[in-house]
Chains A and B, each alone.
Chain A
Amino acid sequence: MTQPVVGVLALQGGVAEHLAMLESLGARAIRVRSASDLLGNDGAPVVHALVLPGGESSTMDRLCSAFGLFGPLREVIAAGLPVLGTCAGLIMLASQIEDPAPGQQSLGVLDVTVARNAFGSQVDSAEVLLEWMGPSTTPDHLDSHPGDSASHADTGDTAEGHVDVTDAVTGHLGRAFDLVSGRAASDADVALAPSGVVRAAFIRAPAVTRVGDGVEVLARYQESVVAVRQSNILAISFHPELTGDVTVHEELLGLVRLEAAV
């Protein structure tokens, strides 16, 4: 039984916490520090998913540019590799940064605008319980009712719901693997975490100030959008890897399983 391999961008920031959490969920987690950690000789990704961790987004941006990681990252994410961005990772994924550091770029693969340090300085950093609306099965149809877990389950059970999800996540790896936990690889509703609560830590956190079409809102904090999904991309303002809450990482591994089931 092979394990999913998840790369964590390891240029700077809270890398070790993501590695530990992914390993605890049964994945094999590797550090990504150069293009060769991400792409094989054939140009195909060597990982099944990617995490862009928290840290200083301006620092990561400069290192990515200086060491040729920008192109490869953008390429694999645009091609459908499941990715989770936390805090600085959210900023890196966004199509627009409201208040970039001078010259700061982003990958532009997630159709949102973000504001950096949207909740104030470090004295405003906080731990909080957030209502988490697990991604619906129909990310392209925003008329679903994310608060109603019963309707979630119903949608997930229909063949139509299944097709929507697999369509939304474009297949690209071309190889399937067995599930970490031994669940069947065709089990489409593994990505359907029930609506619930996430223990979040906001640390000089960014916020999403504009949500594009096809981007689903998964959580809000103080009226601001702090978690979104756009097909293969999950992005959050906060740090579940610090609080030990596995909800979001399980969502990421759920996307990998969906991918494998295609």
Chain B
Amino acid sequence: MVSMTHTVHSPADNKTPVTGSKLVKSGLADMLKGGVIMDVVTAEQAKIAEDSGAVAVMALERVPADIRAQGGVARMSDPDLIEQIIDTVSIPVMAKARIGHFVEAQVLEHLKVDYIDESEVLSPADFVNHIDKHRFTVPFVCGATNLGEALRRITEGAAMIRSKGEAGTGDVSEATRHIRTIRSQIAELQGLYTVSPDALYVKAKELSAPYELVVEVARTGKLPVVLFTAGGIATPADAAMMMQLGADGVFVGSGIFKSGNPAERARAIVAATAYYDDPARIAEASRGLGEAMVGINVADLAAPHRLAERGW
């Protein structure tokens, strides 16, 4: 014993704060539940989103509808833009990194964004690996079209999942398909848990997901992290439908700032998300909003232009 330090023993000796734990990463997502996360491309839009009751904003250079229209490679946004938005609002700021682009993620963590979206809306940087999200203090949200994909992302360290839908279309059908798929796959596991738990081994194989996570989902009947819905939500009724289908909250991308009256629409979608099971309030919120985004029918999109198919 060479230490000269005088140690004071108290009940709260072990007081060193632990940052970046699973609990604080998924805890922020827990605090976003029941809320709307809005895509914004300028500080002014971020302000409108905050004023309208958004629980967080996603800072982007182009909303998905424009990425789709303009084509080319879509990448992480300019740090200047992200910092302007962080400085403008008091709610959490998220930003997107390309799938597998761990250096974009390092940059976003350095900029102190509150959440990173490893997103199929940007052009993938790695067609094999996703980012090892355990190596970061900042939490990640990832997209999924089915339960296996969601569990693989959680295994890599995602602290929040969003069903993908088809971003930038204003067509909610893919969002519906993905949230329904995830929920029904969870229900199936839950059924097996009591009836034939031995079948969960082969389920893990089919889902290409770790057995332990599959058992946890089967036992609890839910994902171990918060599940939001994204991709094509354009109206208050769309948002409320996602909530009734079991989403914990919604992302609205192009749907707000590509519409006729963004502030009104944003407030209306926030209200419909909070009161998702109250048709009178959804009706009230839906009145006089002006033009919704024009949109594209997903069925008309050629396969290579479907963003949801990115991610593995």
- A interface residue numbers (CB < 8 A to B): 10-17, 33, 54-56, 58-59, 62-63, 66-67, 87-88, 99, 101-103, 116-117, 120-131, 196-197, 201-204, 239, 242-243
- Whether A12 lies near B15 (C-beta < 8 A) is no
- The answer, yes or no, to whether B3 is at the interface (CB within 8 Å) is no
Minimal beta-carbon separation of B25 from chain A (angstroms):
8
- Whether A15 lies near B31 (C-beta < 8 A) is no
A243 surroundings in chain B (CB, below 8 A): 23
- Whether A56 lies near B32 (C-beta < 8 A) is yes
Tell which of A117, A120, A124 touches B90, judged by Cβ atoms closer than 8 Å.
A117
Q: Could you jot down 11 A-B contacts, CB within 8 Å?
A: A14-B27, A55-B34, A58-B53, A58-B90, A66-B267, A67-B275, A101-B90, A103-B51, A122-B24, A125-B19, A203-B27
Which residue from chain B places its CB closest to the CB of A120 in the assembled complex? B112
- Whether A126 lies near B24 (C-beta < 8 A) is yes
16 further interface pairs, Cβ-Cβ under 8 Å (given A11-B274, A62-B53, A203-B31): A11-B34, A12-B35, A12-B55, A54-B30, A58-B53, A101-B90, A102-B47, A103-B51, A121-B114, A122-B112, A125-B28, A126-B19, A131-B10, A201-B24, A201-B27, A204-B31
Query: Count of B residues near A, CB < 8 Å?
Result: 48
- Whether A196 lies near B11 (C-beta < 8 A) is yes
Which residue from chain B places its CB closest to the CB of A116 in the assembled complex? B90
Main secondary structure on B side of the interface with A: loop
- The answer, yes or no, to whether B299 is at the interface (CB within 8 Å) is no
- Whether B15 lies near A129 (C-beta < 8 A) is yes
In Å, the complex CA distance between A88 and B33 comes to: 13
- The answer, yes or no, to whether B304 is at the interface (CB within 8 Å) is no
Tell which of A62, A116, A122, A197 touches B28, judged by Cβ atoms closer than 8 Å.
A122
- Whether A13 lies near B50 (C-beta < 8 A) is no
Interface residues of B in 1-41 (CB under 8 A from A): 10-12, 14-21, 23-24, 27-28, 30-35
- B interface residue numbers (CB < 8 A to A): 10-12, 14-21, 23-24, 27-28, 30-35, 47, 50-56, 86, 89-92, 109, 112-115, 137-139, 267, 270-271, 274-275, 281
A58 surroundings in chain B (CB, below 8 A): 50, 53, 90-91
In Å, the complex CA distance between A129 and B11 comes to: 9
Tell which of B15, B270, B281 touches A128, judged by Cβ atoms closer than 8 Å.
B15
In Å, the complex CA distance between A130 and B18 comes to: 12
In Å, the complex CA distance between A204 and B112 comes to: 12
- Whether A13 lies near B11 (C-beta < 8 A) is no
Minimal beta-carbon separation of B43 from chain A (angstroms):
13
B275 surroundings in chain A (CB, below 8 A): 33, 67
In Å, the complex CA distance between A42 and B183 comes to: 42
- Whether B17 lies near A242 (C-beta < 8 A) is no
A202 surroundings in chain B (CB, below 8 A): 17, 24
Going nearest first, the 3 A-B pairs with the smallest beta carbon separation are: A126-B17, A122-B114, A62-B53
From B52, B109, B138, B274, residue with most partner A Cβ within 10 Å: B274
A11 surroundings in chain B (CB, below 8 A): 34, 274
Which residue from chain A places its CB closest to the CB of B56 in the assembled complex? A56
Minimal beta-carbon separation of B273 from chain A (angstroms):
8
Minimal beta-carbon separation of A237 from chain B (angstroms):
13
A127 surroundings in chain B (CB, below 8 A): 17-18, 21, 23-24
In Å, the complex CA distance between A33 and B274 comes to: 9
Minimal beta-carbon separation of A122 from chain B (angstroms):
4
A197 surroundings in chain B (CB, below 8 A): 11-12
Minimal beta-carbon separation of B23 from chain A (angstroms):
6
In Å, the complex CA distance between A197 and B251 comes to: 38
From B16, B18, B34, B55, residue with most partner A Cβ within 10 Å: B34
B114 surroundings in chain A (CB, below 8 A): 121-122, 204
Minimal beta-carbon separation of B153 from chain A (angstroms):
19
In Å, the complex CA distance between A117 and B50 comes to: 15
- Whether B51 lies near A12 (C-beta < 8 A) is no
A117 surroundings in chain B (CB, below 8 A): 90
- Whether B31 lies near A62 (C-beta < 8 A) is no
B52 surroundings in chain A (CB, below 8 A): 62
- Whether B109 lies near A123 (C-beta < 8 A) is yes
A99 surroundings in chain B (CB, below 8 A): 90
- Whether B24 lies near A203 (C-beta < 8 A) is yes
B17 surroundings in chain A (CB, below 8 A): 126-128, 202
Tell which of A16, A63, A131 touches B270, judged by Cβ atoms closer than 8 Å.
A63
In Å, the complex CA distance between A201 and B35 comes to: 21
In Å, the complex CA distance between A202 and B281 comes to: 34
- Whether B33 lies near A13 (C-beta < 8 A) is yes
Which residue from chain A places its CB closest to the CB of B24 in the assembled complex? A125
In Å, the complex CA distance between A45 and B122 comes to: 51
A201 surroundings in chain B (CB, below 8 A): 23-24, 27
B281 surroundings in chain A (CB, below 8 A): 67
Which residue from chain A places its CB closest to the CB of B249 in the assembled complex? A12
- Whether A102 lies near B51 (C-beta < 8 A) is yes
Which residue from chain B places its CB closest to the CB of A63 in the assembled complex? B274
Which residue from chain A places its CB closest to the CB of B273 in the assembled complex? A12
Which residue from chain B places its CB closest to the CB of A86 in the assembled complex? B31
Q: Given A55-B34, A122-B115, A242 and B10 touching (CB < 8 A)? A: no
